[in-house]
Structure 1
Amino acid sequence: MDLPRIFTIRESSHRIHNPITAEKLATIGRALRLRPGARVLDLASGSGEMLCTWARDLGVRGTGVDISSVFTARAHSRAVELGVTDRVDFAHDDAAGYVADEPVDLASCLGATWIGGGVPGTVDLLRRSLRPGGLLLLGHPYWRLDPPDRATVEGCHAADRSDYLSLAGLIGQFGELGHDVVEMVLTDQDSWDRYRAAQWFNLRRWLDENPDDELTEQVRHELRTDPASYVQHEREYLGWGVFALMAR
């Protein structure tokens, strides 16, 4: 049970494994008005940056769950670095179907709604860990602009245009699922650049250090083709945001 190596190679320098910046992650944390000691469950927690920095800055306590052993080890190290090991813990486990032992004040999944088979299933999964009146936090893509062709859809890592909604459509979907949107922080193109361009540097560094690895050709092909595809498709057409929800 683990992520394929290509994911950890591509994001080897990343503390946040989606296109939100550290500043915007801090902004959404402050906006949620969490009390010190609030309990957080973060599914697909990656390298633990959200939980660790919120524990340091906001005094929350929580558990992160991620399928990557590499990212989970980094999360443990980050907790040590920030001095919050008494407030957070991280489990190397499959977040799909994971439910907290006790209800939490906030349940989150930023950028990994495949754990619930999409937005509706992930909202349902998170609700199973949430106390009455608690907050859900969901990070998810949306179409900034309507994709004009199949190449753009595939360039945004979608199998079909219907895989993502417009921002208005996504907000509407949350309402159809019985939730009010009470906060949101959206990425911009600079946020995307900082996330995606750093991947290319990681790939190149890895290639220089591992010229004979079995993944070398795959990584070399990605590095040759991904920057142009990104600026042509993903940067222009795909948005990403973090949305705080409360059940009606």
Structure 2
Amino acid sequence: MERQLISHLAHTDHPIAAPISEASLDRLLRRAKLAPGARVLDLGCGEAFWSVRLLELYGEATADGVDLSDAGFADARRHAERAGVADRLSLHHGSATEFAPAQPYDLVLCVGATHAFGGLTATLKAVRGLLRPGGLAVVGEGFWERPPGERLETEIGEYPDLPGTVAQAEAAGLRTVYAHVSELAEWDDYEWSWTGSLIDWATRNPGADGEAAMAAALEHREMWLEGYRGLLGFVTLLLRVV
């Protein structure tokens, strides 16, 4: 089973697709204070939950969502239609690293997708090139709450701590104007949803795909419960171009 399909299934019951509650998401997006007619770009949009919520909050904004997999696009369109914003959302199937818009954006989102660019610094460099002068970026990235040990760092990733993450972002020529640090309860809700949705799908779909989904869910759950729970943090930064 493709990695993109596994991710899509795992986020069925948590379409925010990050360890963030809906209340925290709204608070973060409202702090952007977008002007009427703002143009938004969502890199690695998945089901475009973030874009749809932004369009609900900012009635005259428009958004482009880009993702290498279109597995979540049907759900994105249904969600946008239910929210009454489908006419202001455009979805593009392709690589976020190769997306070349004709005009810059007022806000660029890249949450949990910095791996597509090769890390936080490269992501922010790319995002800056897509923003108008003085534009905003919302970037979600992991960080280590405390040193994880060699095994976890090898298997999960080499992240700095929270101060190091903020410094890395600001070294790219942006300034942090707000941020949300995910709480343990948000992490737990996200991880139980991720693994539980996948396990539920696997039990209802016996066969090779079901077995692959179950194996992915159990491997992920073990890594979370016995590895990075309480160690790996997640921060969503609201950044303005200097």
Code of the residue aligned with 1:18 in structure 2: it is A
The match for 2:35 is 35
The match for 1:86 is 87
The match for 2:22 is 22
Q: Which runs of 5 or more residues in structure 1 are unaligned? A: none
- 1:85-234 maps to which residues of 2 (within 5 A)? 85-147=86-148, 149-154=149-154, 157-158=156-157, 163-212=158-207, 214-234=208-228
Code of the residue aligned with 2:228 in structure 1: it is E
Partner SS state of residue 47, structure 2: coil
Question: Are 1:106 and 1:136, in contact at CA under 8 Å, matched by a contact in 2?
Answer: yes
TM-aligned CA deviation for residue 235 of structure 1: 1.8
Q: Percent identity?
A: 29
Does the C-alpha gap of structure 1 residues 143 and 83 become closer, same or farther in structure 2, counting only changes over 3 Å? Answer: same
TM-score computed with the length of structure 2 as normaliser? 0.91
Question: Are 1:41 and 1:104, in contact at CA under 8 Å, matched by a contact in 2?
Answer: yes
In angstroms, what is the RMSD of aligned CA positions?
1.9
CA distance in 2, matches of 1:26, 1:12: 20
CA distance in 1, matches of 2:178, 2:172: 16
Question: Are 1:47 and 1:74, in contact at CA under 8 Å, matched by a contact in 2?
Answer: yes
TM-aligned CA deviation for residue 4 of structure 1: 3.6
Question: Are 1:142 and 1:170, in contact at CA under 8 Å, matched by a contact in 2?
Answer: yes
TM-aligned CA deviation for residue 243 of structure 1: 0.6
TM-aligned CA deviation for residue 100 of structure 1: 2.2
The match for 2:48 is 48
CA distance in 2, matches of 1:224, 1:182: 38
Question: Are 1:99 and 1:125, in contact at CA under 8 Å, matched by a contact in 2?
Answer: no
The count of corresponding residues between Structure 1 and Structure 2 is 240
TM-aligned CA deviation for residue 225 of structure 1: 4.3
Question: Are 1:3 and 1:68, in contact at CA under 8 Å, matched by a contact in 2?
Answer: no
Q: Deviation per CA, 1:159-187: give whole Å up to 9, x if none.
A: xxxx2110000111122222211111111
Question: Are 1:56 and 1:84, in contact at CA under 8 Å, matched by a contact in 2?
Answer: yes
Q: Which moved more, 1:87-96 or 1:45-54?
A: 87-96
